A and B are shown apart, each in its own frame.
Chain A
Amino acid sequence: MTLKSWLRVACLLTAASAPALSIPARAADAPAEIKIGTLYAGSGQMASTSVPLHAALEWWADGLNKGGGVYVKAWDKKIPIKLVSYDDQSSPSLAANLTNQLITRDKVDILLSDSTSVMTASSVPVAKDHKMLLWDVTGSSPNFFSPDNQYIVLLALAATDRYPKTVADFVSQMPKLGIKSVALLYNTADYTAFQASAVRKAIQATPDLKLVFDRGVPANTTDYTLLVNNVDAAKPDALFEFGYPANEIAFLHALQDNDTKFKFMFTGYGLTEFPLMKTNGVSDVLMNTYALAGPASYEFKVNYGLNRDGFKEAFEHWIETKNLKGVEFGFNGLAGYQAGLVIERALAVATSLDQLELRRAVFTLSGTMNTLAGPFILAPDGSQSGEILPLAQIVAGAKGSSEPGLNVIWPADLATAKPIYPAP
């Protein structure tokens, strides 16, 4: 191509972009719609967590639009929501591009990130650079939060450094049950390794506990038979296992296949995605084991939005009517709804759509809003410090119910039962 033709291309590009630039902004009138931009992973590694979250957001937006839209304080009226969604295909570099696209081309009013820390990491610097508030749904890495970045709030999950607090606190109580030796098996990805290290510290700080097995496995490990055998050979009284759902399913299958049981077993995702474990036929193995009671299984007291049961029913109906493939009620769907609830409440408070005003509005909810995800409490850096989950032992459910029974055992003030040790 010659210089001349390059110039022609440049001119064409200029001409094409000119009309877009010349539309004047009319801030005084109410906009015809509130644009909410978000990314989801329609394919690739992150798809199984991202798709349910996005489905719940769509359900939320659809529900509000049927009633005329979301109430926006700035114009004192209901305005329809437009969800602008792009598929990042689980690619972080594409996610960065598309975040920029949402901000600069689509000029969204509210910017949501994709699920998981790996994908959220791409959006954090872009949002900060454009002074757009990033409504971070489940990207809980402590790396994202610092006092010098005002443009991020974490909505549906406690930050990773606070998330395992209940478990770590409980570890000090373990010798009282007669537990002397502990094994730790974890996935080396950021989220799970972080939890494991919190538990490890707690074990080391408890004089009567001995760590007899401590091993990380690569994130894509989906066969645990050998590892389970190795843990068994170390004869621990208790086992803590942290993995993503794919790891967890494989781990539970391995226990099932080998008839291996531990006197005390904790799993990271056991309750967070219980329905998924159930469709995979491993929920029986979870009987009498321990897990953090994620909002998908634990009924938090609610002062805004649907409670857990109400959401489950509505969301499952939506999945059925929309014929969504591979989407189940679980933590990720719930997180999508939680993001919607926070947005809804913040728009009812904010006096304009200015990004810092939106941030201020979100902060007014901190400490006052209790949703199905738990009490919403923000730390000054925008990270979530509420939504701390209680530790529960999974027991047989009520007759005829498809769901497990829960004995909350820690923290002491929420406890409903004493741990049954050793597990029957």
Chain B
Amino acid sequence: MLAYALATGVIFGLYFALVGVGMNLVFGVMRIVNLAHGDFIMLGAFGAFWLFRGLGLPPPVVVVLCFATLFLAGLPLYYLLVPRLFRAREPEMLSLILFFGLSQVIEAVVAMLFGNNERSIPSRLLGGGPVPIMGQTVPFAWVYAGGVSLVMLAGVYVYLYRTRLGRQTRAIMAQREEAVAIGIDIHRISAIAFGVGSGLAAVAGVFAPFMLGSFTPSIGVSLDLTSFAVIVIGSLGNPLGTLLGGLIFGVSLMLMRTYLSSFADLLPNLVLIGVLLVKPTGLLGRRVRNA
């Protein structure tokens, strides 16, 4: 039972890393907390529901379509909201409120258009039968989602560390003022990062019905909390730390479900607080940040 819990914890860890990485990218580049992140994930889940379950498109096409749609939606959203936000005295704090408002708007519109009832997608539709692991089985959809998560995280790595765009993005993350001084177009780079973050959320959303059971328009808030926990454990503002955060979160959640299930909700919060107190910048954080 222990080995199985660990194995499923790793699969979920990869997925949770995907859930959090978009929010972390946005925080790293813009120093804003995107509370509408969970709603972008919810939109991805609706995307999967129509494109995959409804129209029967192949999963890779659904992933690409959802990523592209949210990426393209993210760009104007950035220009509409973020530059204005930065004129305020404390954009980091205000971002929490601003994006909470946006999250309410998205949830309300989706509920009005499509209703509030539970939706889900049978994992069988993704193909494959139960996959044997450690003497027990996991649904093929989990392995699929874990694999896609790994590919997306690798994509984030390539984007950040192997491209010119990524170098500029990291320059903004490290020293915003200096990046401006050396002539980097902050808004263009940030808008792309915001789009990528939103797109990643949508991809996480495509697999949400398989990993999280059913979904409704109101799942956003709890996904935000999960994302926070994952990225703060890894290290806020360091997108690759998210992988570590996700793994720790996933494994501890599965251990808890195996041995102390009724307290399973308590643990992620305690891990989050514990990590913050021991190492306030997250496990992979480098320097103390002054807010």
Contacts and interface: CB of A to CB of B under 8 A. Distances in A.
Contacts of A232: 136
Interface stretch (B69-77, B157-165, B197-205, B258-266): B258-266
Interface residues of B, number: 45
A47 B222 CA distance: 16
A383 to B, nearest CB: 28
Contacts of B264: 217-218, 221
Interface stretch (A116-124, A252-260, A390-398, A399-407): A252-260
Contacts of A230: 1, 257-258
Interface stretch (A37-45, A337-345, A364-372): A37-45
B184 to A, nearest CB: 41
B59 to A, nearest CB: 16
A48 B116 contact: yes
B227 to A, nearest CB: 15
A317 B143 CA distance: 42
Interface residues of A, number: 46
Interface string B106-131: 01100111111111111110000110
A241 B216 CA distance: 22
A215 B211 contact: no
B63 to A, nearest CB: 20
A254 B213 CA distance: 8
A225 B118 CA distance: 19
A282 B216 CA distance: 17
Contacts of B117: 48, 51-52, 276, 326-328
A222 B253 CA distance: 13
Indicate the member of B1, B254, B257 with the most A CB atoms within 10 Å. Answer: B257
A282 B122 CA distance: 8
Given A43-B217, A280-B120, A226 B5 contact: yes
A235 B76 CA distance: 55
Contacts of A215: 261-262
Contacts of A327: 115, 117
A246 interface: yes
Contact of A220 (B1, B4, B265): B265
B279 to A, nearest CB: 27
Contacts of A229: 4, 136-137
A325 interface: yes
A416 B108 CA distance: 47
A246 B213 contact: yes
Contacts of B222: 220
B168 interface: no
A79 B216 CA distance: 39
Contact of A223 (B107, B121, B211): B211
A324 to B, nearest CB: 7
A42 B121 CA distance: 24
A48 B4 contact: no
Indicate the member of B111, B115, B120, B258 with the most A CB atoms within 10 Å. Answer: B120
B181 interface: no
23 contacts: A42-B111, A47-B116, A51-B116, A216-B261, A217-B257, A218-B262, A222-B215, A226-B4, A230-B258, A233-B136, A246-B216, A250-B214, A253-B123, A256-B124, A258-B130, A258-B138, A276-B117, A280-B120, A281-B122, A282-B120, A325-B113, A326-B114, A326-B117
Interface of B: 1, 4-5, 8, 107-108, 111-124, 129-130, 136-142, 211-218, 222, 254, 257-258, 261-262, 264-265
Closest 9 CB pairs of A and B: A326-B115, A250-B213, A222-B213, A325-B115, A257-B139, A47-B116, A216-B262, A326-B117, A218-B265
Interface of A: 42-45, 47-48, 51-52, 90, 188, 215-218, 220-227, 229-230, 232-233, 245-247, 249-250, 253-254, 256-259, 276, 280-282, 324-328
Given A250-B213, A257-B130, A326-B114, 5 more contacts: A225-B142, A226-B8, A258-B139, A325-B113, A327-B117
